[in-house]
Structure 1
Amino acid sequence: MIESNDEGRTIEVTIRIEADPRRVWTALIHPEEIERWFPLHARGEGRDGGRVEVTWGDEGWWGTTLSIVNDGTHARFVDEAAVEHGGPVLYMDYHLESDRGATVLRFVHSGFGPEDRWDDFLDALDAGWSYFFRNLKVYLEHHPGTPRTMIHARPGTRGSRPEIYAALVRAVGIDPDALRETAVGAPVTLRVGNEPVDAVLEAAVDGRTFAARVPSLEQSLLFLEIEKAGDEAKVGVWWSSYGPSAATAGRLAESRDAIVTALEAR
């Protein structure tokens, strides 16, 4: 959710995770754990003052500095990458509270100005963070301590954001009009390759992102996203799976290829 105040705008996400707060804390600050729910790869030091960098494979490394404000309950990552180009310092704050054996995580991404130039970037971040914290929840509740396998593709395409989004969700058997009326957490039927499977909707932001979890495929999680710039767009097709069997990995690769083929055939 994007919030506005006199100082600018922030993104805030709150999620309940059925895991011990120390387990959640570890997943948030240590690079080997961060790459199990966030980027393709992470490196650095999960300590106060440590440098933590992440990458999605083809765009270099994004670096932040970790500040442990209150051990176990408040961590802040400071992003100064834009400062040398006249941009602001951005902050990513994680606040953790224990709740009857579970953890309530509140995330705040701040430092954005009120100017219109931030609008599209903020919308993309808001959609992305909503998904990533669902991935964190799936990881900690279903696969704690298990490395993640990513089966993915990032094809380029053309067209408007609504056209691309409709093609993406139709490629996995979802009607885009019906999707607008479907709540997160609701059951959906997903097409994996040529076979329908029962799934759970984990995120859906019209024109931007879609995510669904497939319990029968070892709780594997599909994430579809659109990065738009002018007439060009890059699409992300990401299957996250934890210790998948060869059969599951094969089906996820088949699904990825079918999605890419459907985009190319538009």
Structure 2
Amino acid sequence: MTDPQPTDDRGRAIELEVEVPGTVEEVWEAVATGPGITSWFIPMEVEERAGGEVLMDWGSFGRETADVVAWDAPHRVVFRGRDEQALAFEWLVEARAGGSCVVRLVNSGFGEGEEWDGQYHGMSQGWKIFLANLRLQLTHFRGRRAHAAIPTVVLDGPRPAAWARLLGELGIAPDARPGDRVSTSGDAPALAGVVEEVVDGPGATAYLLVLDAPAPGTAFLAAEGDGDQVAGSGYLYLYGDDVADTGAAWTSWLGERFPAMGVEDVADPSVTWAGAGED
């Protein structure tokens, strides 16, 4: 995966690439349609045409509307927000030999200044994690549709201490490596699977998992932020008929374990990304 590059005429841009398995049509469905995006990112509805509307479900933070400003299936789509500081999200899909594709993201429109710096750096790290989750989804659950839930708690920093505290409450080792099997214990919500990737970079620490409990799916446990307050999250993407209440169960448990700082059932990764680069 390439590093973000600040090279866009609408201000700074995050530019990332990831190679994923699948045909162009399969990968296009994952990055350009509502059910596809929901299975690795956040719940979304997409009107699949130029000029169409995009609805993004930010959970307790409400819903946001964007526009489809370009639609060239199955290779290029651009979503753009409607607020004064609207960002644009361009997705490009290119076939490669051997049954894989390269997905390129250009997230543009970042301005200058300290507030923009925090959002730019935080989202740069956040997108790397989500694109890794896209790769897992297409590797293990291609063509299937997940239920997404992102329960989040605010923890006292610094991030290493917050990460250790979150995993300690879950009963998961803080030093797991790719290939290790992990599972929650005690009264923590059921979660078990294999660690596919460990992220420990600027602004975020995370385990990316392929799950077999509480249902097949992908997930990543994450601590995000470098300030006095850090977001601790369980990003869950589950397949099955009995998983709709999983997010609520996690939110309830996190609220009991971390009552002093509060908890939200957040479905908005930008909430945590925006602070990931700040001191």
- State the TM-score, normalized to the length of structure 1: 0.76
Runs of at least 5 residues in structure 1 that lack an aligned partner in the other structure: none
Deviations, residues 183-223 of structure 1 (Å, cap 9, x unaligned): xxx32342322599661333514452413223554653232
The 8 Å contact of residues 16 and 105 in structure 2, kept in 1 or not, is answered as: yes
8 A contact 2:66–2:82 mirrored in 1: yes
CA separation of 1:251/1:156 partners in 2, compared to 1, >3 Å: closer, same or farther? Answer: closer
Amino acid at match of 2:74: G
User: Is 1:158 aligned to residue 156 of structure 2?
Assistant: yes
Counterparts of 1:246-261 in structure 2 under 5 Å? none
Distance 1:69 1:239, change over 3 A: closer
The residue aligned with 1:92 is: 89
CA change 1:60–1:229 in 2 (3 A) is farther
How many angstroms does 1:239 deviate by? 2.3
Residue 146 (str. 1) matches residue 148 (str. 2)? no
2:207 to 211, 215, 221: 211
Q: Deviations over 1:203-257 (max 9, x none)?
A: 514452413223554653232334659754543222222227x6x9999998887
1:143-190 CA-partner distances (Å, limit 9, x unpaired): 233231345532333333332123234445233xx56xx6xxx32342
> Is 1:22 paired with 2:30?
no
Q: Which residue identity lines up with residue 47 of structure 2 in the other structure?
A: E
Q: 1:192 aligns with which of 172, 184, 190?
A: 184
Match of 1:243 among 233, 236, 240: 240
Q: Distance in 1 between the 2:64 and 2:130 partners?
A: 16
> Does the CA contact (< 8 Å) of 1:142 and 1:219 recur in 2?
no
Q: Could you tell which deviates more after superposition, 108-117 or 222-231?
A: 222-231
Contact 2:196–2:210 (CA<8 Å) still a contact in 1? Answer: no
Q: Give the share of equivalent positions with the same residue, in percent.
A: 24
Q: Tell me which amino acid in the other structure corresponds to 2:173.
A: I
- Tell me the alpha carbon deviations over residues 23-72 of structure 1, each in whole angstroms, 9 at most, x when there is no partner: 11122222232212211x32241211111111131111122211335331
Q: What is the CA distance between 1:109 and its match in structure 2?
A: 0.7
1:128–1:260: structure 2 CA closer, same or farther, 3 Å change rule?
A: farther
The amino acid of 2:145's aligned partner reads: P
SS of alignment partner, residue 187 of structure 1? coil
Counterparts of 1:149 and 1:6, CA distance in 2: 34
SS in 1 for 2:128: helix
RMSD: 3.5
**Higher RCO (C-alpha under 8 Å, 6+ residues apart):** 2
Structure 2 Cα separation of the partners of residues 32 and 153 of structure 1: 20
2:109 to 108, 111, 115: 111
What is aligned with 1:173?
172
Change beyond 3 A, Cα 1:69–1:12? same
The count of aligned residue pairs is 251
- The worse-fitting range, judged by mean Cα deviation, of 156-165 and 51-60 is 156-165
Is contact 2:89–2:108 with CA below 8 Å preserved after alignment?
A: yes
State the Cα deviation string for residues 97-137 of structure 1 (Å, max 9, x = none): 10122111111111212423222212221222122222222
Rounded Cα–Cα distance in structure 1 between residues aligned with 2:113 and 2:258: 34
Change (3 A) 1:165 1:225: same
For the residue of structure 1 that corresponds to 2:199, the secondary structure is strand
Amino acid at match of 1:212: L
Distance 1:138 1:239, change over 3 A: same
Please show how residues 46-125 of structure 1 align to structure 2 within 5 Å: 46-68=48-70, 70-81=72-83, 83=84, 87=85, 89-100=86-97, 101-125=99-123
Contact 1:36 1:148 in 2 (8 A): yes
TM-score by length of 2: 0.73
2:151–2:247 contact (8 Å) kept in structure 1: no
